[in-house]
Amino acid sequence: MKPMLGMAARSAWNRRFALSLVVISIALSTFLLLGMERVRKDMRAHFSNAVSGTDLIVGARAGSVQLLLYSVFRIGAASNNIRWASVEAVAKHPQVAWAVPISLGDSHRGFAVVATTTEYFGRFRYGDRQALAFSSGQAFGKPFEAVLGADVAASLGYKLGDRIVLAHGDGALEENDHAKNPFTVVGVLARTGTPVDRSVHIDLPSMDALHAEAAPAPGGPSFGPLPPNAGTAPAAAPANSPPKSVTAVLVGLKSRAAVFSMQRWVADYRGEPLQALLPGVALDELWELVGIAERSLLAMGAMVFVVGLAGMVAVILAGLDERRRELAILRAVGAAPRHVMALLALESALITLGGVLLGIVATYGVTVLASGWAQSRFGIALRLEPPAAGEWTVVGAMLAAGLLAGLLPGLRAYRLSLADGLSPRI
């Protein structure tokens, strides 16, 4: 077979213009399959790294995936808030080591605003139980101070001492800007590769002050101009009273063994309907949901690949009739029909290999080009690393399929070469 490999390569090269399209379509499907595998892997890593060390997340009763997405990843629809009394009840439970409330819903120029307590910076863990660290400054100490995630500081160019304006809601409407309540940047967190990087952290009373200003409390003037002093910073400085409600509570337990009894306790809580989710379990639920979409994408990628292979077989078969003279020459110099078959099968294998290699190169190229964008847009780090086991499986399956598909023109050439002998009937 060895003499055939070089000849197959040169024969394919001789018809490179027709075959290059086939190579491109195979490269494209490789790119689709590998790219999808890569994004899937990095996305999962991104999500799994986002929270660790938190045993339970307590929030209003909704889908646990929804609560997880909203409270940890700031994605999707806002869940209902829970009352402060519930937060205190959870915090007082004997099994609870610590409880950190968080309040969401506001944003600053596209970055989520997270209102919480200073304990958040000490308790929150990500990745492999890593704690948050400050790259500069410190935690907020009083109202209207803000601590920025690494991406927020980097992409908006903020530094310590800068005064920033936070918006109520999604920040899309100009009127929602609270120009009168600027916050001072007192700390910037080190990069974590989690949604924390894309968050602005303030304390709970400040967020209440923002909301009080946005929607005047019932009983206040409901029409007419606002009182002249309403909302000026010093006057609006919130009292150190607890907030009415928060979005969720991150809970650490004294013993992980108590996690299910605690979960039951929260579900049975009488004050209002609550739920407690285990981050790992909720993530698994999420992957089950996402898995359906992933599988259909995978099936689509596989079909594109099959179409590419079908195109390859069609092109080679179509060219075969013109090559019957070539087959006769090979027979005349001592090539057996099996050599002829090998020539055609090797040609298909080389084309598939070329396409797959091109697809791998494209995947890496796009990973390099898109990693900055994916990082800044979604906070997902697309990592440049050698293909993992899953990707090798994909690549191996593709090469095997290409080799198998090549047997088709190979067999046809075998039969032609047996029938024609040295005098091809063209």
Partner 1 sequence: MANQLPLVALRDVSFRWPRTSGDALRVARFDLAPGERVFVRGPSGSGKSTLLSLVAGILVAREGSASFMGREWSTMSGARRDACRGDHIGYVFQQFNLLPYLSVLDNALLACRFSPRRAERAGEPKREAERLLARAGLGAELWTRKATELSVGQQQRVAAVRALLGRPELVIADEPTSALDEELRDAFMRVLVDDCAEAGSALLFVSHDPRLAAGFQRVVDIRELAA
Q: How far is the CB of 3 from partner 1 (least distance, A)?
A: 4
Query: Given the rule CB under 8 A, which of 8-16, 64-72, 80-88, 363-371 is the region that contacts partner 1?
Result: 8-16
- 338, 360, 366, 404: which one binds partner 1 (CB under 8 A): 338
Nearest residue to 347 via CA among 324, 319, 325:
319
Please identify, using beta-carbon distances, which residue of 346 and 382 lies nearer to partner 1: 346
Q: Is 334 in the site for partner 1 (CB under 8 A)?
A: yes
Q: Is 201 in the site for partner 1 (CB under 8 A)?
A: no
Q: Is 5 in the site for partner 1 (CB under 8 A)?
A: no
The answer to whether the beta carbons of residues 251 and 276 sit under 8 Å apart is yes
Q: How far is the CB of 280 from partner 1 (least distance, A)?
A: 59
Q: Is 425 in the site for partner 1 (CB under 8 A)?
A: no
Nearest residue to 194 via CA among 49, 384, 377, 376:
49
Q: Is 318 in the site for partner 1 (CB under 8 A)?
A: no
Residues in binding contact with partner 1, number by CB under 8 A? 23
**Within 13 Å of residue 223, how many CA atoms lie on the same side as its CB?**
0
Nearest residue to 53 via CA among 245, 188, 194:
194
Give the containing element (helix H, strand E) for 315.
helix 279-320
Q: In the structure encoding, which two tokens stand for residue 227, read together?
A: 């009182």
Give the containing element (helix H, strand E) for 249.
strand 248-253
Could you tell me which residues come within 8 angstroms of residue 364 by beta carbon, excluding any fewer than 6 positions away? 384
Nearest residue to 213 via CA among 230, 225, 227:
230
Q: How far is the CB of 22 from partner 1 (least distance, A)?
A: 17
Q: Is 328 in the site for partner 1 (CB under 8 A)?
A: yes
Q: Is 329 in the site for partner 1 (CB under 8 A)?
A: yes
Q: How far is the CB of 402 from partner 1 (least distance, A)?
A: 21
Q: Is 336 in the site for partner 1 (CB under 8 A)?
A: yes
Q: Is 13 in the site for partner 1 (CB under 8 A)?
A: yes
Q: How far is the CB of 1 from partner 1 (least distance, A)?
A: 11
Please identify, using beta-carbon distances, which residue of 46 and 331 lies nearer to partner 1: 331
DSSP string, 55-113: -EEEEESS-HHHHHHHHHH--SSPPPPEEHHHHHHHHHSTTEEEEEEEEEEEEETTEEE
Q: How far is the CB of 7 from partner 1 (least distance, A)?
A: 7
Q: Is 337 in the site for partner 1 (CB under 8 A)?
A: yes
Give the containing element (helix H, strand E) for 116.
strand 111-116
Q: Is 10 in the site for partner 1 (CB under 8 A)?
A: yes
Residues that bind partner 1 (CB under 8 A): 3, 7, 10-11, 13-14, 325-326, 328-339, 421-423
